[in-house]
A and B are shown apart, each in its own frame.
Chain A
Amino acid sequence: MTVTRRDFLAAGLVGAGAGIIVPPILAKGVFAAGIDGIHNDRVLVVVQLAGGNDGLNTVVPYADPAYATARPTLGVKPETILHIDSHVGLNPALPKLKSLYDGGQVAIVQAVGYDKPTYSHFENLYVWQYADPQRRQTDGWLGKLLGSQLDSQGHPMAGCALGQASTPPELRAGNATVSVIQSAQGYTVRGGAGRQATAPELYARTPGIYGALFDQALGTAESGMKVLAATTYKPMAQYAAGGAAPAANTLGSALQLTAQMIVTVPSVKICHVVLSGFDTHQAESTRQTTLLGELDTAISAFMTDLATHGQSDRVVLMTWSEFGRRINENGSLGTDHGAAAPLFIVGKPVKGGLYGDQPSLTSTIDDGNLKYTVDFRSVYQTLIRDWLQGDSAAVLGASYPELPVFSAAPSVFSPA
């Protein structure tokens, strides 16, 4: 059932009837993408680091004496830091990301945040997921993009939440169809052909307030099950140590499934995966090291896998977290909720480098928190407009300074 990129482009340009065998469900996606005005095969993968990742210990401002003062016990040991330049370096748990950076495939965007931040997980999740510091929007930013520009025809796999069982808020929107696939093996109706036919039929046209959601969920599942049953994808990278299959419910398994979807289904446009556990109020260093190590292995394997399958040119990945953490460590060998933090944009199409200004550790806001230098919506706009070639203002409601991550277009930001 694999359709090559060439097939996809041909079908997209000429129409699905031009003698190329495109499974009907994919043809629908091609058609839908066509009428919605986005004519490319580019994919955005969003990696959520849930809980509030400590940005200062991820991209470490090791040359700033204020860092050692603020982090007397929790500071990353200077000799272990993976230097990016003479000011900042990566946490030693990120060696593979450092290699990708050295290969020019990682944009590090510094001090991403917004004005007058809150310090609540849930308020910040709302802000980032709905792209709205006022927290009034009711549709997620990726859901809006999906529903209005990528696939208003409801192609079942244009938007995918992978390695998780629920629909993430940023993908929710009134008119967005989302496939939620926790694992490829589990995505099936057990009990034989009869049950497989009965299940979607049971959920069709249900009355009441849940009817449309039910119908969409089972309709989506029906398509996804067919695609996954016929996939010929084989992972071509090590998502877990020792060549074993990655454990269930890890970022490695979620990104392997993401690669599988991208390789198998050319109309995939947005994939969302999540790595949880970053709320490190206590005993931070062990936990963050483990989580960053998982991130490092998973992203690196994902990029290798895509390259081996010839898909590198069409995929960009971004990370985000609801906030960074307080500059000063607390008394529990951890850090409390903070504000701005760096994020990564990774992929072959990315112009690697440092973007945005390093925030001051001494000129702070709200009693010891980092001030943002890049509005998070600048990142969203850059990805919507310059990568997916969509209409960012329609999603974000305004325009923001662009980051030159994909082009040499003039901008208020410049690579360091």
Chain B
Amino acid sequence: MNLTQVRLSRRQALGVAAGGAAGAVALTFALDELGGSNLAALNTGSGWSSPLGDRRGMAAHLLRRAGFGYSQTDLDAAAALSYDDLVDRLVSQRSDPLAAPADVTNHNSLVEAWYTHMATTQAQFPERMTLFWHGVLTSDYRQAARFPYVYQQNALYRSAGLKDLRTLLTSVSRDPLMMRYLNLDASTATAPNENYARELMELFTVGPGNYSETDVRESARAFSGLRIGLYDSSGSRMKAPRYDRANRQAYVDQVNALVAAGASFRGTTVPRLHDSGTKTFLGHTGNLGPDDIVDILLAQPACAPFVTRRAMTFFASPNPTDADVNAVATQFRASRYDIPTLMRAIFRSPAFTAPSNYRSLMRSPADYMVATMRALQRPGLVRTAVRSAQGMDQVLYDPPSVAGWPANSGWVSSSALLTRINFATAATTRLSGAPDLGGAITTQLDNVLSPTTAAALAAAHTDSDRWFALLASPEFQLK
């Protein structure tokens, strides 16, 4: 197929759709009745006519991946910048703190508050990073019990998750939700618990094959004796409020007040519970403690490529090549694991910018629902989103395992896609004040449609049906 744009009438589109031979053929589609635009379309082997040779196409591609969603005005502004300037602008966004929900100890309230934030904040890139780290350094809300641990971890990833990997990992080892989730808070010198020590290496830093079972056990000794305490904003130890079943609201009010005053729970090493003996970990011998383990891991050659690959799989391409990963990892390591450096390198990597990476990623459920709220400018859909999340298999702070969320094709199943389609129906019911649909096809879908989506859009008679077809379409599930 050559690089020319193909323009088809609706009748032709239906013919192609019905003919069935179009499996691998992508058409840049201009629907006259819905308002089309001209795009430079490249045939790239991605299966779609890729708009990534075009400045506006590149800007939309980056906004979908570095953020969640955007309006036509946002896209106009982004496309006015050069691609490199746009990358710099996004990566340097300062994070916008999440205001504490009414009950800072409640999982559902926190998830609703976070969805609202993702759907409304101007600082989308920091939210995207927070969601990324939530999937990597993941934890289960059930471990928070009656404490504000979920809120605290969320805030940690929004701040340290934009700094450097050392700051992030040394903080995570003392994050109360992580300490509870991977049992650091119960590990003692006499019986060190291996759970965190193992996952720190296997999932967070170097990956399997780069350590022995002895390293797991030695690292567990170094992490022994961490316990959770409450500290006020000046760092002095405080007594945690007592839970009172009979007067739950009073308890919640107390915790909310503590959080508002800047108090936080975190881990510290309790000397009598800590193994202060000599350990040998990955060739280093000494009285190693938690931060020594992190430093030794950061010095391993496997660390930068491993973390980079996880980030690239989330942000750039489902299967980045070793060469692409290593090129980014080299910059990451050289910057002393500076996370903005990592992200700028990813957004400029061929694994991100090459035309064949167009629509190579699947939106996660959270991403899909936030993108929908932003496309429709309906942040009021948050409750519907929270209710729909389980059917798409992504309840935030309830990951399937310590390996975090699936990615890309892992989100595809008959049940999960039906739930996405039903969310699109719920989102487009009683629609009023939604943006103009003709513009949305260009803005949201780059005017690159499969014949069947084009046919469904053309066959829809109401705004609600048209928006449904757009949001439920395969194109909108991809980015």
Contacts and interface: CB of A to CB of B under 8 A. Distances in A.
Interface of A: 50-51, 118-123, 161, 164-167, 178-182, 186-191, 194-195, 198-199, 201-211, 213-214, 217-218, 220-221, 224-225, 249, 276, 279, 281-282, 330-334, 336-337, 366-367
A178 B412 CA distance: 11
Contacts of B182: 281
Given A202-B472, A330-B191, A207 B25 contact: yes
B191 A332 contact: yes
Interface in B15-40: 17, 20, 22-26
Interface of B: 17, 20, 22-26, 46-48, 182-183, 186-188, 190-195, 198, 202-203, 208, 213, 216, 318, 359-360, 362, 390-393, 400-403, 406, 408-419, 421-422, 425-426, 429, 450-453, 455-456, 459, 465, 468-469, 472-474, 477-478
A210 B183 contact: no
Given A281-B186, A331-B186, 6 more contacts: A120-B198, A178-B413, A202-B473, A210-B409, A211-B23, A330-B193
B390 A208 contact: no
Contacts of A225: 418
Contact of A191 (B24, B187, B425, B478): B425
Given A202-B473, A224-B414, A331-B188, A337 B401 contact: no
Nearest to B457: A202
Given A180-B416, A207-B26, A331 B187 contact: yes
A210 B46 CA distance: 10
A332 B227 CA distance: 13
Contact of A166 (B416, B456, B472): B416
- The binding surface of chain A is classed by DSSP as loop
A181 B419 CA distance: 11
Contacts of B421: 189, 195, 199
A202 B456 contact: yes
A335 to B, nearest CB: 10
23 contacts: A50-B401, A120-B198, A120-B202, A121-B402, A122-B202, A122-B401, A165-B413, A166-B411, A166-B416, A189-B418, A189-B421, A201-B17, A202-B453, A203-B474, A205-B22, A207-B22, A208-B26, A221-B415, A224-B414, A330-B191, A332-B188, A332-B191, A336-B193
Given A119-B213, A206-B452, A221 B414 contact: yes
A166 B413 contact: yes
A218 B23 CA distance: 15
A165 B390 contact: yes
B478 A208 contact: yes
Given A205-B450, A331-B187, A331-B193, A210 B456 contact: no
A202 B452 contact: yes
Rank and list the top 8 A-B pairs by shortest CB-CB distance, nearest first: A331-B191, A208-B47, A180-B413, A332-B186, A165-B393, A207-B47, A221-B414, A191-B425
Contacts of B362: 210
A105 B25 CA distance: 54
Nearest to B319: A209
A411 B453 CA distance: 58
Contact of B415 (A122, A181, A204): A181
Contacts of B469: 198, 202
A138 B187 CA distance: 37
A8 B279 CA distance: 65
Contacts of A199: 418, 421, 472
Nearest to B195: A281
Contacts of A367: 213
A195 B468 contact: yes
Contact of B416 (A121, A165, A332, A336): A165
Contact of A282 (B193, B213, B459, B465): B193
A189 B422 contact: yes
A120 B410 CA distance: 21
Contacts of A249: 390
A259 to B, nearest CB: 18
Given A120-B198, A209-B360, A366-B213, A179 B414 contact: yes
A166 B198 contact: no
Contacts of B419: 165, 182, 186
Interface centre among B193, B203, B408, B477 (most CB of A within 10 A): B193
Contacts of B408: 210
Nearest to A167: B413
Contacts of A205: 17, 20, 22-23, 450-452
B412 A213 contact: yes
B456 A201 contact: yes
Contacts of A210: 359, 362, 408-409, 412, 474, 477-478
Nearest to B214: A367
Nearest to B46: A208
A214 B412 contact: yes
A323 B477 CA distance: 36
Contacts of A201: 17, 452, 455-456
Nearest to B402: A121
Nearest to A223: B414
Contacts of A195: 421, 425, 468
B34 to A, nearest CB: 16
B183 A334 contact: yes
Interface centre among B187, B402, B413, B453 (most CB of A within 10 A): B413
Contact of A206 (B360, B413, B450, B465): B450
A62 B413 CA distance: 44
Contacts of A198: 456, 459, 468-469, 472
Contacts of A167: 410, 412-413
Contacts of B410: 166-167
A221 to B, nearest CB: 4
B474 A206 contact: yes
Nearest to B20: A205
Nearest to B273: A331
A334 B194 CA distance: 11
A58 to B, nearest CB: 20
A207 B45 CA distance: 10
A336 B195 contact: yes
Given A119-B213, A205-B20, A331-B187, A217 B194 contact: no
Contacts of A330: 191-194
A126 to B, nearest CB: 10
Interface centre among B23, B362, B415 (most CB of A within 10 A): B415
Contacts of B392: 165
Given A194-B465, A203-B474, A220-B414, A123 B208 contact: yes
A157 B271 CA distance: 58
Given A210-B362, A217-B417, A221-B414, A204 B473 contact: no
Contacts of B194: 281, 330, 336-337
